[in-house]
Chain A
């Protein structure tokens, strides 16, 4: 059974490698196919890390242009997705650090007064907003690890490969992220309400 489970990622890797090769041979549709597969993932991760839609769109554009330019250096040693996430996350962290330095995110969060908790169907969206705001309070590195784990659904070893750190570092950063979120997300989860 695990054999079949292992085959699928291999097939996926080979399909993506084939697309990269076609792109390098001048087939413009190949890059479009790679873009279509990862557009939402790259945009969503960028949004989680920089915290603002217009910035995330700029960032996603920069990331895909960089990927387009750098594909000639792709070594066919790792999965394309790992390589792509590495470029995307590093670029997003750098951008978020730059924004942090200018104090934009914290100022924006401080300006936003927490609204009154709504009742009824808007209650879920309100909880989501609070969670997103809490994630926005983390450092860019911790935001990146939250995005890779809970948005992209990567395993600890995949995250370690993307970030080029050990699995132990991934776990300790993730644990730190949860501990930092603890006071900000207090009372939101079912476990807290129980």
Chain B
């Protein structure tokens, strides 16, 4: 057996995990190599001292600290939840508002594409039923009758 293999097997030897055949070779090398024998003694000595070190006990205050920390975390989590919910609703409401604004913006802009040649559906607007018309609105392009441009229509309605 060479020194390198002896050192590979050393911890298994100290652990009592070597099989009988390997143990014979191992002991033979131990008897003939002073360096490896010294290494084994060093490890055995250290193992004894390390295993004999006092096992420190956890302080009695530890459980209380853990309980406080867990309780604090629970409280923070419960406070965070409504904020998240509110945040979610606010985001949804904002998104809806933006969507509605876009629809109105597009819808409102469409009649301003003033093209006298387009068929425009014109509706009279009055303050009360039966009262004189104050103006006209142009909600769509379904009316087959050609109409004047919107601006002219509104100005003309007041005359």
Contact = CB atoms under 8 A, between A and B. Distances in A.
A151 interface: yes
Which secondary structure characterizes the binding site on chain B?
helix
A146 B51 CA distance: 10
A26 to B, nearest CB: 13
Interface residues of A, number: 40
Given A35-B63, A35-B66, A40-B58, A150 B42 contact: no
Contacts of A153: 51
Contacts, number: 95
A150 B66 contact: no
Interface in A60-116: 60-61, 64-65, 68-69
B53 A150 contact: yes
A155 B66 CA distance: 30
Interface in B74-122: none
Interface in A18-62: 32, 35, 39-40, 42-44, 47, 53, 56-57, 60-61
A182 interface: yes
A175 B10 contact: yes
B11 A189 contact: no
Contact of B15 (A32, A151, A156): A156
Interface string B26-50: 0000000000000001111111111
Interface in A176-194: 178, 181-182, 185, 188-192
Contacts of A61: 62, 65-66, 69
B73 A44 contact: no
Contacts of B66: 35, 61, 64-65, 68
A13 interface: no
Contact of A150 (B11, B47, B61, B69): B47
B57 A182 contact: no
Given A65-B69, A146-B50, A171 B58 contact: no
